[in-house]
Structure 1
Amino acid sequence: MKHRFLSIVGLATAMAFASGCATNKEATSASKSSDKSTSATTAAQTDVPVWAPKKHAFNPSRTRHHDLLHTTLRVSFDWQKQHLHGLAELTLKPYFYPQNTLVLDAKGFDIHSINLMKGLDGTPLKYSYDGQKLTIELGRTFTRDEKYIIEIDYTAKPNELASGGSDAITEDKGLYFINPLGEDPNKPRQIWTQGETEASSAWFPTIDAPNERMTQDIYITVDKNFTTLSNGTFVYSRQNADGTKTDYWKQELPHAPYLAMMAIGEYAVVKDKWRNIELTYYVEPEYKNTARKIFGHTPEMMEFFTKKLGVDYPWAKYAQVVVRDFVSGAMENTSASTFMEDLQLNERELLDKHWDGIIAHELFHQWFGNLVTTESWANLPLNEAFANYSEYLWTEHKYGPDEAAYAHLDEMSQYLDEAETKREPLIRYQYADKEDMFDSHSYAKGGRVLHMLRKLVGDDAFFASLNQYLTKNKFTDVEIAELRMAFEDVTGQDLMWFFDQWFMKPGHPELQVSHSYQNGQLQLNVQQLQDTTYMPIYRLPVTISVWVNDKKTDYPIEVTKSLQSFTFPVNAKPQLVLFDGEKQLLAVVDHKKAQEELKYQFYHSKQLIPEYEALNVFTQNPKENLTLLQDALKNDFWFIRSMALNAMSDMKDAQPSLVNQVQQLAKQDKKGTVRADAVLVLAGWGGEKYKSIYEAALNDSSYQVAAAGIIAYAASGAEDAMQKLKRFEKEKNEEIVIALSSIYAMQGGPEKYDWFMQKLKQSRGSGLYYLLQSFSAYLATNSESNTPETIDVLADIAANHNLYYVRMAAFQGLMVMSDQPGVEEKLQKISANEKDKRLTDMYKQALQQNGN
């Protein structure tokens, strides 16, 4: 599973319209004295940090009373009611102890009949059902040597389930009908499923736990114009007398029930191949010609991962399907990954972006998560940390060390942001809800911990250990100890200390580093400042890189104490001392350096992260460091160029040489992001002065640059600005739409109302979220647009959209019009019917504040 690629810049702002919903970023710990971490027996703080691990009930893996061996499903659909009619045949046997009762997960079904099958003959069985658990009396006691088959005739009604989910997986109703009646001309009709965490049991009865495994047959009956996809091999398609067809998919190797899937729609299916494995890319027909460019690195990824792991891709085929209104970023269903619609890009959009990260993530899950599966959600990082780290591995291989380091920085930032308010062990059995496991700990922190493990044991041992882990545990469920033992078996090392401090303990090191030189000796002091009430004193093997007379020397050290000093013989005063020379450590490091040393670091470290760290200091005072920033504009890596540009945005009196340099970047830089940043810097400097560059940006091949041109030209005060922007109004590209909406929100009058309404109908996902934010601002300044039509459109989105943050944004728009007739009642009704716990309290508080 990959988080939806939505940073939701401004989501906190949007949520803050209800008091108490903004993130609490008060002081995260009591003041830190210089000797606070001198021992693990430090006295407990009187104030509990906001991030302190929370105490919850213990959540073990599911006890296995029965072993689910095989599932056969025959399904058809009622599009009008959004129901699935299913006939399920489950083959089981007692796991060890004799059993006379079977309990299945079955959420929100109508149960029509249950039979114990012997050949084609069925014996009705007694059962009880509470809407969540189906308890079946088997009629006699079965032993672990006896298989039996249960047939269940049922109807699944997913839209009648209470809504749940998480930030990573926004809904959990298992089965989704998209535009079921075909009433929306901007959206195809589709059906798709999403099983993780335990939502497969919302569309078929099963033992919905990650430590269960089954093979499966699925027979899908649909109208003949639809294409179907499921796990495993496509066996046949049978034409039926009523004009429908039945497609048969067979999954011959066992996998967990949450990995079962279906996708149904009118797709273009683009075929590819890796070795003797068929690859298919399911996209909407409009994107048939770009599907190979979107997913085209898949064969190379499969070869790369297979060779690195020494374990062949394990499944019969690999399909990748894009669906509308997906509830996450993507999902690694066995042999058939599902992706959010954002992956569908046209030729021009592909100039600015690719989705290799998310594609690699789901592909790597086919080994880590599908071939070897976590036994419980407490061990989720055994799935997600590996998938997260695969993005780094692929980026390093395909795009080089700077792009990999940039990805590393981004993931580190995600975890450290979350750590401001939450610090839990990676492997945590005590959680309030299993969905809480889908956070930046399991993903971003987990990936960084694996990177440290790789650096600790070396590449050969790292991948040999992964081979051992996969080979020994294939088609089984695992916990963290089995990963540790694989590494210990390969390396001969006792790695309990590493796994204990990084997987089983919360938090991260907080280090204060200083260095000094005297009489041919470099002294380095390292102090661990983290709160040891909650976190350990870490054992940290790191490299100290020292430059003397322009020559770099690496010194390996191991930090093991709260306060530790190291000395190194050097023949002159160092020009640079770089703690953690490989920049692999997951830690907050405060290492103050003189300006000259930081300059040397920027120019000579030849690594992205040290360059970034030095440049980040110099961007605080751009005028005083202009020469270095101008040099940064020439850096080989686009992110450094963009950093330097963004630091210059307030320099209204820029020197001619700098202006010329920025103009050249706006016109010629090979990276669209940098061209766009340069255009926006010029917009901040000059109004109409750089009008010709803004006009050129409007015609740039990159949508990103064109969007910057829209903002810059509108901000220039040019009299023809609105006329110039009008030609973009038919564009569907998200960046263009968001740029226009931000301008029209403040400068657009009643004549832009129809444009907003059209885009509200066309936009989706994150694009719709941002558009709704602009539309709310537009409504606040155009009261004549507060019409019954507007109210109905926003109310429909707020009540019915599948993404909770989109519903929230529409609710916010309605709040702007709360003084209009009937709006108060609609807000109250939407609030009362909202089932998502992330919104219910927020709505209640918002309405109370509004006087309702």
Structure 2
Amino acid sequence: MKLRIFIGLLLLGICVQAQHQDRIHFTHADVSIAIDPYNQLIKGSVVYDIKVVQSVDSVFLDAKNMQFSAVLLAGKKVRFSNDGKFLTIKKKLRKGKEYQLSLTYSATPQQTVYFIGWPPSPSKHPDSMRGRSQIWTQGQGKYTSHWLPSFDDMNEKVEFDMDITFNKNYDVIANGELRDTRVTDSLKTWFFDMEHPMSSYLLAFAIGHYKRQEAVSTEGVPLQMYYYPQDTLEVEPTYRYSKRIFDFMVSEIGVAYPWQNYKQIPVRDFLYAGMENTGTTIFSDGLMIDSVAFVDRNYVNVNAHELAHQWFGDMVTEVDGHHHWLQEGFATYYALLAEKEIFGDAYFYWKLYDSALELQKLSNDGKGKSLTDPKASSLTFYDKGAWALVMLRDLVGDIAFKKGIHNYLKKYQFKNVTISDFLVEMERASGKDLSVFKDTWLIGTAFPDAQTRKKLMDASPSIASFYALQHEMTASSGNDGAIVQRYWKNTNSGLLKKRIVERYLKTLSADFIRQAFASDDIEIRQALAVGMDKIPTDLKPEFESLLNDKSYVTTENALYKLWIYFPGDRGKYLDSTQGIVGFANKNVRLLWLTLALLTKDYHENKKPDYYRELSGYTAPRYSFEVRQGAFQYLDGGIGFSDQNLKDLINACIHHNWQFKKYGRGLLDRLMEIPRYKKRLIQISKELKGKELRYISNKLDKE
């Protein structure tokens, strides 16, 4: 009975805390942190200004695994408790009063702050990592409380000013305007100022070695685009159209950019493509590209998506996950509009076509979700969410749509919102009842295929032709090749021809394929490189010509397939591609090294060098994309050295969940092979720390 009473009181306490928190408002924070990267330690202080709406007898903040050396309210020490999750201050606060809460603390974050390439001490810092070590944050949702006593609640919006102290030889970037810097011996402090409130999960910083390119938007907003000093040739292709995207977004949305400046910072081994921290987008350095890669894989969509979030998510923030469409659906939609502005209408509608196919498959498989379901997939929130806005704009018209967006953003700026708040503004702007739209697009789980198909056919002649081609191919019992040939000849759309190749390649004659090869369109030729499983001898010259295309996807596919089907010319193909690296993940180089090692009589004297290079790419000093690619090729037949196995164990505890999952799956498979298990047992004796704990646990379970 006592246990039940205790649990009941505990639950009541939590409920009381939540209610009390609604009765006070944190308005401003002065944050000061100093970071020790070798011990992964943050020492900090924060002073919060508090307004009391209704009298309370306690205040709490989210504070994960922190130690507090001082807790002061109105300059006086107060009673507090710290259970490793919450900091609770026991003190009566009177309605209508304002207080200052001062906290001094330390934390060793288990997540949210990521220390990349830092050894346990400066003396063990390898020269290869000194210019590549980084620290960056990713607090999306509710995780900033791992390094700052704050709020795991998007509804608490605070104006954060922050100063950060670190080694003076590094660059520190954070939200807001850099107002000042001060140097003391080997340390430097950067002072950042914000003007408007935001949810604490959007507070961020990045530390590393950077240069930056600067621009100014048409409305005078400073744009700061960061890059690694060695990546000067990648700056223009990566940030191509950045100013144009910014100016377009301001014009299209119809509300001024809400923050003082806009920064974009690439970081290594990021958890996602990008994250829209307030005024400070952090993104994966895998998106830093050269001019060749731009055709295959560029930063434009991510660039525009994270920028759109500065309005939809950062300035106006969802109340909770039931309203996540208001952030991801809107950011996806406006990013598509930015791409439409840059690449044209046809590109825009074909991207919508591709997403409609995925959404329809999801729906047909019984996995369709409502846009109000907080557990919906990214495909639902992003792509179905964007489609919902496409159809809403059609329904209410351009003028009413833009008016509704403007009114919604102005009314709720720096506040939290629900879907109903948005729909009310759209109904007022358009004079239309949107209940059917809400039921169909927001509440309904099925994807409205008939509506989207009609929209695409009305908007895009090339997509209408593709639908017609598919129908004719399904209904016809005649010559499929002749049907495809007719549609091919009757269009000038490279995007349509690319889809024809992708869908009907196996039905095409050699003459038709030769015709497609003769195209100057890189995407059509890439579709051939990717789609052709076999290379007929009479198409060998055409396929060989793909090695000259300015596309890393094409080069990778063409090299591999030519190497497979024409073994007598392997040396020639390797010679012609030996200097190509490919994307940031070194896709072409890793393939080249593997094929060079497997090719008999090809530079036998250099094969030890080739192996050292390929094998070396599993090391932690490389990005997880490069490491995973190297593991895959070594696993495919080359074999693993002891160092590779050590690197694999390291991968199993990596912070990036995708890479960690891959590493653990590979290790589990190797453990089933006796010779590898025996080697892993021996290797475990050389390990320490997390790697030793992980492999020991695996071996103990065997």
Q: TM-score range by the shorter chain?
A: 0.7 to 0.9
Partner of 1:116: 73
Partner of 1:777: 636
Identity fraction in percent: 23
Pairing 1:381–2:325 present? yes
Encode CA deviations 1:233-267: one digit per residue, 9 max, x unaligned. Answer: 11011111x22110100011111111111111110
Encode CA deviations 1:465-520: one digit per residue, 9 max, x unaligned. Answer: 10111111111111111101101111122222322342234333476xxxxxxxxx
Q: Would the aligned equivalents of 1:158 and 1:174 in 2 still touch at CA under 8 Å?
A: yes
Partner of 2:189: 246
Partner of 2:5: none
Pairing 1:178–2:116 present? yes
Amino acid at match of 2:70: S
Name the SS of the counterpart of 1:390 in structure 2. Answer: helix
**Structure 2 CA distance for aligned equivalents of residues 273 and 61 of structure 1:** 45
**Structure 1 CA distance for aligned equivalents of residues 344 and 486 of structure 2:** 22
Partner of 2:58: 101
Q: CA deviation at 1:440?
A: 1.9
**Structure 2 CA distance for aligned equivalents of residues 208 and 805 of structure 1:** 25
**More off after superposition, 373-382 vs 804-813:** 804-813
Choose from 636, 648, 652 the match for 1:794.
Answer: 648
Q: Would the aligned equivalents of 2:237 and 2:289 in 1 still touch at CA under 8 Å?
A: no
Structure 1 or 2: more helix by fraction: 2
**Structure 2 CA distance for aligned equivalents of residues 660 and 447 of structure 1:** 38
Pairing 1:670–2:529 present? no
State the TM-score, normalizing by the size of structure 1: 0.71
Pairing 1:403–2:360 present? no
Structure 1 segment 323-362 matched on structure 2, within 5 A: 323-362=267-306
User: Cα 1:157–1:618, aligned 2, differ >3 Å: closer, same or farther?
Assistant: farther
**Structure 2 CA distance for aligned equivalents of residues 254 and 326 of structure 1:** 26
Name the SS of the counterpart of 2:269 in structure 1. Answer: coil
Name the SS of the counterpart of 2:265 in structure 1. Answer: strand
Q: CA deviation at 1:369?
A: 1.0
**Structure 2 CA distance for aligned equivalents of residues 258 and 619 of structure 1:** 52
The structure with higher relative contact order (CA 8 Å, sep 6+) is: 1
Q: CA deviation at 1:302?
A: 2.4
Partner of 1:255: 198
Q: Would the aligned equivalents of 2:359 and 2:447 in 1 still touch at CA under 8 Å?
A: no
Q: CA deviation at 1:413?
A: 3.5
Partner of 1:728: 578
Structure 1 segment 106-505 matched on structure 2, within 5 A: 106-117=63-74, 122-138=75-91, 141-159=92-110, 173-181=111-119, 182-183=125-126, 185=128, 188-240=132-184, 242-275=185-218, 276-419=220-363, 420=365, 422-428=367-373, 436=375, 439-505=378-444
Q: Would the aligned equivalents of 1:332 and 1:365 in 2 still touch at CA under 8 Å?
A: yes
User: Cα 1:388–1:697, aligned 2, differ >3 Å: closer, same or farther?
Assistant: same
Name the SS of the counterpart of 1:731 in structure 2. Answer: coil
Partner of 1:613: 467
Pairing 1:64–2:27 present? no
Encode CA deviations 1:86-132: one digit per residue, 9 max, x unaligned. Answer: 111111123x3211211101112222221224xxxx32222111211
Partner of 1:39: none
**Structure 2 CA distance for aligned equivalents of residues 826 and 91 of structure 1:** 57
User: Cα 1:438–1:128, aligned 2, differ >3 Å: closer, same or farther?
Assistant: farther
User: Cα 1:305–1:731, aligned 2, differ >3 Å: closer, same or farther?
Assistant: closer
State the TM-score, normalizing by the size of structure 2: 0.85
**Structure 2 CA distance for aligned equivalents of residues 826 and 350 of structure 1:** 45
Q: CA deviation at 1:704?
A: 2.6
Give ranges in structure 1 of 5+ residues lacking alignment.
1-59, 160-172, 512-541, 543-578, 585-603
Q: Would the aligned equivalents of 1:259 and 1:332 in 2 still touch at CA under 8 Å?
A: yes
Partner of 2:618: 760
Pairing 1:73–2:12 present? no
Pairing 1:84–2:42 present? yes
Q: Would the aligned equivalents of 1:361 and 1:391 in 2 still touch at CA under 8 Å?
A: yes
Amino acid at match of 2:568: E
**Structure 2 CA distance for aligned equivalents of residues 710 and 833 of structure 1:** 40
Q: CA deviation at 1:702?
A: 2.7
Name the SS of the counterpart of 2:479 in structure 1. Answer: helix
**Structure 2 CA distance for aligned equivalents of residues 350 and 510 of structure 1:** 32
Amino acid at match of 1:368: F
Partner of 2:483: 628
Q: Would the aligned equivalents of 1:175 and 1:193 in 2 still touch at CA under 8 Å?
A: yes
Choose from 703, 726, 729 the match for 2:552.
Answer: 703
**Structure 2 CA distance for aligned equivalents of residues 697 and 61 of structure 1:** 65
Q: Would the aligned equivalents of 2:593 and 2:611 in 1 still touch at CA under 8 Å?
A: no
**Structure 1 CA distance for aligned equivalents of residues 477 and 160 of structure 2:** 62
Encode CA deviations 1:652-686: one digit per residue, 9 max, x unaligned. Answer: 9x35x325313313xxx232x32233345677232
**Structure 2 CA distance for aligned equivalents of residues 110 and 258 of structure 1:** 21
**More off after superposition, 812-821 vs 746-755:** 746-755
User: Cα 1:681–1:78, aligned 2, differ >3 Å: closer, same or farther?
Assistant: closer
Partner of 2:515: 661
User: Cα 1:685–1:196, aligned 2, differ >3 Å: closer, same or farther?
Assistant: same
Q: Would the aligned equivalents of 1:76 and 1:221 in 2 still touch at CA under 8 Å?
A: yes
Q: Would the aligned equivalents of 1:84 and 1:156 in 2 still touch at CA under 8 Å?
A: yes
Partner of 2:500: 644
Name the SS of the counterpart of 1:760 in structure 2. Answer: coil
Q: CA deviation at 1:713?
A: 2.0
**Structure 2 CA distance for aligned equivalents of residues 680 and 307 of structure 1:** 39
User: Cα 1:462–1:628, aligned 2, differ >3 Å: closer, same or farther?
Assistant: same
Amino acid at match of 1:320: Q
Encode CA deviations 1:534-569: one digit per residue, 9 max, x unaligned. Answer: xxxxxxxx6xxxxxxxxxxxxxxxxxxxxxxxxxxx
User: Cα 1:659–1:389, aligned 2, differ >3 Å: closer, same or farther?
Assistant: closer
User: Cα 1:424–1:720, aligned 2, differ >3 Å: closer, same or farther?
Assistant: closer
Choose from 415, 425, 445 the match for 1:506.
Answer: 445
Choose from 531, 534, 539 the match for 1:684.
Answer: 534
User: Cα 1:416–1:798, aligned 2, differ >3 Å: closer, same or farther?
Assistant: farther
**Structure 1 CA distance for aligned equivalents of residues 327 and 569 of structure 2:** 54
Q: Would the aligned equivalents of 1:188 and 1:265 in 2 still touch at CA under 8 Å?
A: yes
Name the SS of the counterpart of 2:378 in structure 1. Answer: coil
Q: Would the aligned equivalents of 1:110 and 1:155 in 2 still touch at CA under 8 Å?
A: yes
Partner of 2:122: none
**Structure 2 CA distance for aligned equivalents of residues 132 and 510 of structure 1:** 46
**Structure 2 CA distance for aligned equivalents of residues 644 and 342 of structure 1:** 30
User: Cα 1:416–1:205, aligned 2, differ >3 Å: closer, same or farther?
Assistant: farther
Say how many residue pairs are matched.
Answer: 658
**Structure 2 CA distance for aligned equivalents of residues 501 and 580 of structure 1:** 15
Partner of 1:581: 454
Q: Would the aligned equivalents of 2:276 and 2:282 in 1 still touch at CA under 8 Å?
A: yes
